[in-house]
Structure formats: structure tokens, C-alpha cells
């Protein structure tokens, strides 16, 4: 019991997330976001006009077809059937509608998954550098996050390190492929290895270890690459998806969670996920979005254009002296900072209205992340400024505080 005005749990989380929250709510970027003239590479946010078909779809499905159009709408049957059909067709796996749960994006699906399977004291492993909220969300769900590092430059799925980090308390491993921020797509062989490791570890512990498969970027693939899902290799996998990436509409909260076709004990897990959705705050997508799922499944942003931006920026940055690998998917480039202090370097870029995400905010100091959702015009403007920032950072006279 504490005498503070807020809960100890939230105070603890606030301490941990302080730098990230400050960046998103108090940094120069947070105040300049959306203003003309800046080059915004920070978040996976739209910097170009939305898809007209997305707008038309929202308007179409806002029109009521029945009296109960805007009634409470948990896990709409038609939306679930559509998702299952699309997964069957695209993946060749027999997903069932009753195993699909409509969520408020991947965020909502992760929250439901953590609560459905993990108790206080349970450990959930994640691979670092991670999507920035895994740690906080695992703690918020009452479980203990365990970090496992992936190594530059390949940032492969660290199966051996995961195996070494497993304890009798391990309840789940988060796999994020295509990976934010590294842009890696984990190959099927690595997922098979992981499945073997987890099957053995589960048997040893007498308790099932789940894979929570964050597939937010599964349709943002470059160079004609294919995507492999853990759900194809490991029956205790929970698929997490959002429409916020493929449509670049993260403000309209729509995603889903799906149980892998071969999962045992499905009846119980289904009930647990549903209850988790309810008790978390009726965390279902808006009725209109659920009605729109079949239409939205047909839409995508221009992935070739995204790839074109990658293929323009990677060689240009390398020519300036930046070290970076070529992402296989997602929105992101991940260059090394020319100086060890990525916060100082990104401040240097920010002075010239070029905004990127410092690696220190996602457990990868010495790097920064560039989102390819920036417009061509922003890239035009920013490239010479990336070059001059490199020069400035390396000049002994103007060296920043690092």
C-alpha cells in the first residue's frame, strides 16, 4: 500500500517509459509533428494522403443496414469468417472463424494474449531491439518481461539465446517478424528451430510455452519475399495482426488475434481471450470497422513505392558514410549513428527539421530508426541534411556532448 496519489505499478512503469513518453509528448518532434517543412521519419504514421478507397469504405459501412447497426459488437461473425478465409487462402492453413478475435489493433491483441495465458510471476520473453511497448505491456499485464538480444548486423532470431533464457516460469515468447525495427523476416528454418526448442522446454516444464506472433508487418514485404508465420510450425502460437500498417491507418483501431489451427485446449483459450477482451474494457473494434473487414482486406498502401523509397535512401545514406543493412520488410531503416550517442546525433538532425527515432528509446543505443512512411518530398529535403549532419557529427570542432 502506498500513500501516493497514483498506483505504484503505474509509477514504476512511468519511470521506465519516461524517456519514450517524453519523446512522444514533449520533444521538438512532438511539437512540430504535422507542420509543413519538417521531414518526419519518426513513426509508422502517414505523411501522404490516405487511400481514397479507405475513406469510401468507412463511409459505406457507416450507413446502417439494420436497427442494431451501432449496437454492442463483440467479435462480429462475418468479420471473423472473412479473416479466417483470408488466412486460409494466403497461408494454406485451416484457420477457423471461432479462433479469430477482432481487436483494437495489434496493441489490443497483445494485451488480450498476455492476460489470457500469463499470471503474475510468469515470464514472457521478447527479442531486443523490440517494438517499444512490449516491456511495458508485459508488466502492465502483471507478468515479467525477459529480454533476449539479437545481434547486429543480421539481427537473426536468437534461438539459442531464447533456449538459454527459458526457465520453468517461461510462459510465452514474442516473435515479431517482419521485425520492427530491424526489418528482418525470420526464415522458416529459424521458426522450426524455435518450435523444437519450445516443444522440448514445454515438455520439460510440464507446462505449455506459447509463441505470441506479432505479424503487424506481414503484408509489408520487399523484393517479392515470402513471409513465414510461427503458426505454421508451432501449434501453441497466437497470431497478432493489425490493419494499421498495410493501410497506414493506425488511428482507426482494427486488428485481430487468431489461434493457430492445431492448438490444443482451444475451447479454453477461446474463452480466455474473449473474457480478456471484455474485462480489459470491451476492447473490440468499432462496429463500422468490423463490418468493413472484407472490403479492407482488399486494400493496401503502395508497397512498391515504399520499396522504392528504401532503394533510394539506403544507397544514398551509405554513400554519405552511414552503415546500414537492407530491410526485407516493414517501414524501417536502421542506420548506425555516426557517433555513439544517438540522442545527441538525432538532436543534430532535429535542428535541421529532420526527425528520426533514437535507438536509445528501443534498447539499441548507437543506432536510429528511419520510417519510410515519410513522403518523397521529405526525403528530397532530408537527404542533404543527413549528409551535413554526418559531416557535423564527425567534425572535431562541432562534436556534440558525447
Dist. CA 77–CA 286, nearest whole Å: 14
Residue 4 or 395: which CB sits closer to a copy of itself?
4
| Residues from 155 through 174 that contact a copy of itself (CB under 8 A) | 168-169
Is residue 9 within the footprint of a copy of itself (CB under 8 A)?
Answer: yes
Is residue 46 within the footprint of a copy of itself (CB under 8 A)?
Answer: yes
Is residue 70 within the footprint of a copy of itself (CB under 8 A)?
Answer: yes
- Residue 336 is given by DSSP the state B
Is residue 14 within the footprint of a copy of itself (CB under 8 A)?
Answer: yes
Residues near 351 by Cβ (< 8 Å), separated by ≥ 6? none
Burial class (CB in 10 A: 0-12, 13-18, 19+), 385: middle
- Residue 97 is given by DSSP the state G
CA 241 to chain centre: 9
Residue 82 or 276: which CB sits closer to a copy of itself?
276
Is residue 71 within the footprint of a copy of itself (CB under 8 A)?
Answer: yes
Listed ranges 14-22, 193-201, 213-221, 313-321: which one lies at the site for a copy of itself (CB under 8 A): 14-22
| Residues from 351 through 390 that contact a copy of itself (CB under 8 A) | 375
Listed ranges 10-18, 157-165, 299-307, 340-348: which one lies at the site for a copy of itself (CB under 8 A): 10-18
| Residues from 179 through 208 that contact a copy of itself (CB under 8 A) | 206-208
Residue 352 or 375: which CB sits closer to a copy of itself?
375
Q: How far is the CB of 9 from a copy of itself (least distance, A)?
A: 6
Q: Which of 67, 89, 151, 401 binds a copy of itself (CB under 8 A)?
A: 67
Helices (H) and strands (E) in the chain, counts: 14, 12
- Residue 362 is given by DSSP the state G
Q: How far is the CB of 212 from a copy of itself (least distance, A)?
A: 13
DSSP strand pairing (332-333 vs 368-371) = antiparallel
Closest CA to 327 of 215, 224, 214, 178: 178
Query: What is the number of other CB atoms lying within 10 angstroms of the CB of residue 24?
Result: 17
Residue 49 or 224: which CB sits closer to a copy of itself?
49
Residue 24 or 387: which CB sits closer to a copy of itself?
24
Q: Which helix (H) or strand (E) holds 180?
A: none
Query: How far is CA 7 from each of CA 16, 104, 120, 279, rounded to the nearest angstrom?
Result: 15, 25, 17, 19
Listed ranges 79-87, 222-230, 267-275, 349-357: which one lies at the site for a copy of itself (CB under 8 A): 267-275
Q: Which of 78, 160, 200, 265 binds a copy of itself (CB under 8 A)?
A: 265
* Helical ranges in 286-332 per DSSP H: 287-291, 293-296, 303-320
Residues near 68 by Cβ (< 8 Å), separated by ≥ 6? none
Residue 82 or 228: which CB sits closer to a copy of itself?
82
Buried b (16+ CB within 10 A) or exposed e, 347-380: bbbbebbbbbbbbbbbbbbbbbbbbbbbeeebbe
Listed ranges 211-219, 262-270, 333-341, 390-398: which one lies at the site for a copy of itself (CB under 8 A): 262-270
Dist. CA 20–CA 179, nearest whole Å: 19
| Residues from 93 through 132 that contact a copy of itself (CB under 8 A) | 103-105, 107-108, 110-112, 115-122
Residue 184 or 270: which CB sits closer to a copy of itself?
270
| Residues from 279 through 298 that contact a copy of itself (CB under 8 A) | 279-284, 286-289
Q: Which of 198, 238, 269, 372 binds a copy of itself (CB under 8 A)?
A: 269
Amino acid at each position: 500500500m502506498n500513500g501516493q496519489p497514483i498506483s505504484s505499478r503505474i509509477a514504476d512503469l512511468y519511470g521506465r517509459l519516461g524517456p519514450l513518453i517524453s519523446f512522444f509528448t514533449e520533444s521538438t518532434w512532438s511539437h512540430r509533428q504535422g507542420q509543413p517543412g519538417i521531414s518526419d521519419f519518426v513513426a509508422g504514421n502517414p505523411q501522404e494522403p490516405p487511400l481514397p478507397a479507405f475513406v469510401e469504405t468507412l463511409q459505406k459501412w457507416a450507413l446502417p443496414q439494420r436497427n442494431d447497426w451501432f449496437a454492442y459488437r463483440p467479435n462480429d461473425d462475418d468479420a471473423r469468417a472473412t479473416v479466417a478465409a483470408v488466412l486460409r487462402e494466403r497461408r494454406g492453413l485451416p484457420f477457423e472463424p471461432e479462433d479469430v478475435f477482432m481487436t483494437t489493433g495489434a496493441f489490443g491483441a497483445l494485451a488480450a494474449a498476455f492476460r489470457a495465458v500469463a499470471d503474475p510471476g510468469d515470464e514472457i520473453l521478447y527479442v531486443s531491439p523490440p517494438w517499444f511497448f512490449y516491456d511495458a505491456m508485459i508488466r502492465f499485464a502483471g507478468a515479467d518481461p525477459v529480454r533476449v538480444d539479437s545481434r547486429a548486423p543480421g539481427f537473426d532470431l536468437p534461438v539459442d539465446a531464447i533456449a538459454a533464457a527459458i526457465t520453468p516460469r517461461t510462459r510465452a515468447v514474442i516473435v515479431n517478424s517482419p521485425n520492427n525495427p530491424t526489418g528482418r523476416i525470420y526464415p522458416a528454418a529459424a521458426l522450426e528451430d524455435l518450435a523444437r526448442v519450445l516443444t522440448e522446454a514445454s515438455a520439460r516444464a510440464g507446462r505449455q510455452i506459447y509463441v505470441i506472433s506479432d505479424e503487424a508487418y506481414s503484408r509489408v514485404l520487399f523484393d517479392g519475399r515470402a513471409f513465414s508465420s510461427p503458426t505454421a510450425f508451432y501449434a501453441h502460437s497466437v497470431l497478432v495482426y493489425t490493419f494499421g500498417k498495410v493501410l497506414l491507418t493506425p488511428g482507426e483501431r482494427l486488428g485481430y488475434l487468431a489461434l493457430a489451427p492445431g492448438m490444443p485446449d482451444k475451447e479454453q483459450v477461446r474463452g480466455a481471450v474473449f473474457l480478456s477482451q471484455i474485462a480489459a474494457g470491451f476492447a473490440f473494434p468499432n462496429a463500422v470497422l468490423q463490418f468493413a473487414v472484407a472490403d479492407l482486406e482488399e486494400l493496401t498502401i503502395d508497397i512498391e513505392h515504399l520499396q522504392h523509397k528504401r532503394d533510394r535512401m539506403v544507397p544514398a545514406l551509405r554513400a554519405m558514410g552511414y552503415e546500414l543493412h537492407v530491410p526485407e520488410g516493414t517501414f524501417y531503416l536502421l542506420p548506425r549513428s555516426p557517433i555513439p550517442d544517438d540522442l545527441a546525433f538525432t538532436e543534430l538532425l532535429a535542428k535541421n527539421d529532420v526527425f528520426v527515432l533514437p535507438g536509445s528509446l528501443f534498447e539499441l543505443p548507437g543506432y536510429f530508426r528511419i520510417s519510410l512512411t515519410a513522403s518523397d518530398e521529405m526525403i528530397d529535403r532530408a537527404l542533404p541534411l543527413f549528409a551535413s549532419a554526418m559531416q557535423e557529427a564527425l567534425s572535431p570542432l562541432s562534436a556534440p556532448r558525447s
